[in-house]
Homo-oligomer: A and B are copies of this chain.
């Protein structure tokens, strides 16, 4: 797996707030691994389309496997230009001024040409990676795809060559002139949490360890 930083390109270089960006693979990979879903953008007849998609990083490759993947999968037969974005919210930034309201977040955008995975072995790898992404430890505790299922699995492969992490962290950024205002200001942390598992009706087995101790990477 590559460890060198990614090379910035025109479209991974923001027009402002460049201090909020990084091209280092470790934090980029960490955000890709933590986020549960991805928003995948592509172009149809000159117009933008964005669909929510389940993703999984596998080394230096991002696999994209969506409930709405049928259309993009057809487009991707010969390769389709896409942007895949995952965003993790960390806090609401509640300033005294409406203007300085913001959010603390970490967001990775991956640009490139996505190709449909056609090799059955790589489809099996991608399907297992997606399951493992959703619930670490689960690939070994679920049934892998059979030949028919793998034939029906639409997965795109997007190399992690052109990507950027943008983030905001830290406290509100109010102007000092506003400090005397009577308004409360600060952060409200945002977390993704998980409730009590709801077994399918036929299940009476106990909860496996990978779920009783479920947490995001």
Contacts and interface: CB of A to CB of B under 8 A. Distances in A.
Given A81-B47, A82-B48, A101-B130, A89 B197 contact: no
A99 B127 contact: yes
Interface in A18-59: 36-37, 39-44, 46-52, 54
A187 interface: yes
Given A15-B70, A183-B142, A92 B48 contact: no
A121 to B, nearest CB: 14
A83 B172 contact: no
A7 interface: no
SS class, residues of chain A in contact with chain B = mixed
A161 to B, nearest CB: 15
A178 B83 contact: no
Contacts of A214: 188
A158 interface: no
A103 B54 contact: yes
Interface string A107-128: 1010100000000000000011
Q: Count the copies.
A: 2
A15 B72 CA distance: 11
Interface string A189-204: 1111111111111110
Q: How many of chain A's residues touch chain B, expressed as a range?
A: 35 or more
Contacts of A83: 41, 47-50
A202 B15 CA distance: 32
B199 A189 contact: no
The 10 closest A-B pairs by CB, nearest first: A189-B195, A41-B48, A39-B39, A41-B50, A186-B199, A99-B149, A41-B41, A187-B198, A52-B87, A50-B85
11 contacts: A15-B70, A36-B190, A37-B105, A48-B82, A50-B85, A92-B194, A99-B127, A135-B188, A172-B200, A186-B200, A190-B195
